[in-house]
Chains A and B, each alone.
Chain A
């Protein structure tokens, strides 16, 4: 790396420091609502904790990882120093300032509105302003990624953009457009009320704006992991990437289809018409396509690695895989969790099936399995892969890495599978306590204890992760140059459409306008839809 070493390191340390606080809060929540603890005396403390956990895990942590990894990719894949280092540091400090600004009112109980805001609940204006700062910081990152690609293209006219950078910039553009929904919600609808200029808020319209962000943000979280699947995994396990083109297609499809689908979060909302709910459900089905393409391509790449190591037979090659390699383990765990989580997601997106699981623990199980499971386990691997580049440390102890990954995988399965089960039985999410003495609930009590144990394993895994990084040590030796995966046919011609973003960004914007334009315009023009705000923690 050239200039970005300290920058990337700062992003990763802050991301995981926040992550550690949030994961301990998450485990506390599980513990106090389990039969292992008496009912929490003050349920507000529970919601305060949920707000902090969600805000950090949804906004701060993945944003910092995507930004840090993005800067690293820019230097490592483009093989040139980062342009705009000073701006990158400004963006970092904006995110830091925003995090502190948003956390303080949450800690003080002045903004227990959950990270999804839920108007007409209105918390302290500082909470929303803090989140705006985090998002503005990330927008600087988006601009820097775009500028760096442009500078590189000028210097390398006609060359193919490295796949890692293609995915990285796709993620940046995705985020730029995705974050607009929540930004409009906060700036236009929530802040005037939080600052006291208005008493009422259009809760229905706010929710539609938030849904614009709420689903696509998941694909912003997911991008770094998919970049790792395509550009790091095959190399790390000694194979070749089966298809570079497939990676580009997957990233392009995420750009096009991740946005115009958010209304599937509003299936139970009366203010949105049934027709739009169906269209969004159908398009949500489309985002399974890039994921299925990715699973196919990565499994094919893994098979190449196995066959290069002498694996034979229809399935016999599986035995020849480097199972002691932490990356092999991580990608396997990630795909298992992605499989369960993805199957659950297809149930959630279906208009009718959603009725049975809407607002239950099933949903919590689903997104923890996908994000905290399949995605975060790859964040760990990204950090492990980059650590020798960032700190010039000797190779990390593989045995500890494997233990950490096993703990995370087992912990996540033990946490989320019981959630899925009780969700189907109807257990609502976001409850501070359950009456386990009630005969209808008593049989479900064990599941909450199981999830608490799963959560504890995740906390252990987090501390082991920090321990591995902290004792990795330093050396003055310059690390071996970082390499990305090489495709089976490395010099295949890349079509212009997959070397640029214009077509996909145009489709993304066009489709969003078609799918969101009418519901937003109609709700915005409809009169008498505002309701009195409910200030939280005001007295």
Chain B
């Protein structure tokens, strides 16, 4: 047995293996990059080289349409980053508490609202940061909040978020999600593509950037769901809430809002 002689064109095993694998590769590439694209208008519109580039996954231009016209204005400019959820220093919480004095009229002295404005006590820091940025940039509309946020600097927003995250949050959900809980909250409705509320808002999982809802005023929750459904509110970056709310009936919106708004006991 001559292993030395194996890697030589004279060895038929070497010759046939390398040649047939090479031929297979070349033929596959010719078919995949030239022949198949050639029968497709999208690929051939700009010539053979552009067609090969598109088949390789690198079009020279990702969109031939007029960019300025085609690009919709983004629904939010905030990219959620985990650093936003860091527990604030006591200094930050103190500064936040001072700044929060201008919020107490609507959001309550300790962040527990007595009006239809949302509770902020115990709200996740990244949620407060994102919403304030969205108000300030005009991605979420509210005559009052847009005006109030206009004067806040980025550090102000972080301090406010740190303060509210530090306050104890309302806890109203049951200990277990039994059949007594509305089905949409617990299991959603797969056939209508409605995910369960608890898969993001706490219960099964608490997704980053998703607000704490327990104890929120029922009027606030229904108003938000309705404005998501109508598309009036659109600062959910992946349209996740617009898609959920659009599929819900008015009665379902009411039931879900009432579930989360149930007046409950102590904070955790």
Contacts and interface: CB of A to CB of B under 8 A. Distances in A.
Interface string B12-28: 01100110010011001
Contacts of A256: 17, 21
Contacts of A495: 13
B57 A522 contact: yes
Nearest to A41: B177
Interface stretch (B3-11, B91-99, B152-160, B257-265): B3-11
B84 to A, nearest CB: 10
A532 B81 contact: yes
Interface string B55-86: 11110000000000000000000011111000
Contacts of B55: 273-276
Nearest to A537: B205
B169 to A, nearest CB: 12
A502 B7 contact: yes
A500 interface: yes
B1 A499 contact: yes
Contacts of A272: 57
B206 A539 contact: yes
A369 interface: no
B220 interface: no
Contacts of B178: 41
A433 B190 contact: yes
A448 to B, nearest CB: 14
A283 interface: yes
Contact of A278 (B7, B32, B191, B207): B32
A66 interface: no
Contacts of B5: 496
A522 B190 contact: no
Interface string B200-215: 0011111110000000
Contact of B24 (A43, A283, A440, A497): A283
A434 B188 CA distance: 11
Contacts of B24: 282-283, 286
Given A274-B55, A497-B13, A39 B28 contact: no
Nearest to A43: B204
Counting contact residues on chain B (CB < 8 A from A), the size range is: 35 or more
Contacts of B79: 532
Contacts of A496: 1-3, 5-6, 11, 13
A199 B58 CA distance: 26
Given A497-B14, A522-B57, A44 B205 contact: yes
Interface centre among B57, B187, B204 (most CB of A within 10 A): B57
A534 interface: yes
A275 B13 contact: no
Interface string A250-287: 00000010000000000000011111111100110010
B231 interface: no
B133 to A, nearest CB: 15
A276 B57 contact: yes
A441 interface: yes
A274 B32 contact: yes
A495 B56 CA distance: 39
Contacts of A275: 29, 32-33, 36-37, 52, 55-57
B233 interface: no
Contacts of B6: 496-497, 500, 502-503
Q: Which of A38, A43, A500 has the most CB of B within 10 A?
A: A43
B45 to A, nearest CB: 15
B171 interface: no
A397 interface: no
A272 to B, nearest CB: 6
Contact of A522 (B54, B58, B189, B206): B58
A23 B177 CA distance: 28
A277 to B, nearest CB: 8
Interface in A417-462: 431, 433-435, 438, 440-441
Contacts of B46: none
Given A441-B191, A496-B5, A511-B21, A536 B58 contact: no
B196 interface: yes
Tell which of A41, A158, A435, A499 has the most Cβ of chain B within 10 Å.
A41
Given A275-B37, A532-B81, A282 B32 contact: yes
Given A273-B58, A279-B32, A282-B32, A511 B205 contact: no
B186 interface: yes
Interface in A498-539: 498-500, 502-504, 507, 511, 514, 518-519, 522, 532-539
Contacts of A441: 191
Interface string B31-47: 11100110000000000
Given A41-B177, A494-B1, A503-B6, 12 more contacts: A41-B176, A41-B186, A275-B55, A276-B56, A279-B25, A282-B32, A286-B24, A441-B191, A496-B5, A497-B17, A532-B80, A537-B205
23 contacts: A43-B196, A44-B199, A44-B205, A199-B83, A271-B57, A273-B54, A273-B56, A275-B32, A275-B36, A275-B56, A275-B57, A278-B28, A278-B32, A279-B28, A286-B24, A441-B191, A496-B2, A496-B6, A499-B3, A535-B82, A536-B205, A538-B208, A539-B205
Interface of B: 1-3, 5-7, 11, 13-14, 17-18, 21, 24-25, 28-29, 31-33, 36-37, 52, 54-58, 79-83, 176-179, 186-187, 189-191, 196, 199, 202-208
Interface of A: 38-39, 41-44, 158, 160, 196, 199, 256, 271-279, 282-283, 286, 431, 433-435, 438, 440-441, 494-500, 502-504, 507, 511, 514, 518-519, 522, 532-539
A-B pairs with the 8 shortest C-beta distances?
A273-B57, A275-B55, A278-B32, A497-B13, A539-B206, A275-B33, A282-B28, A275-B32
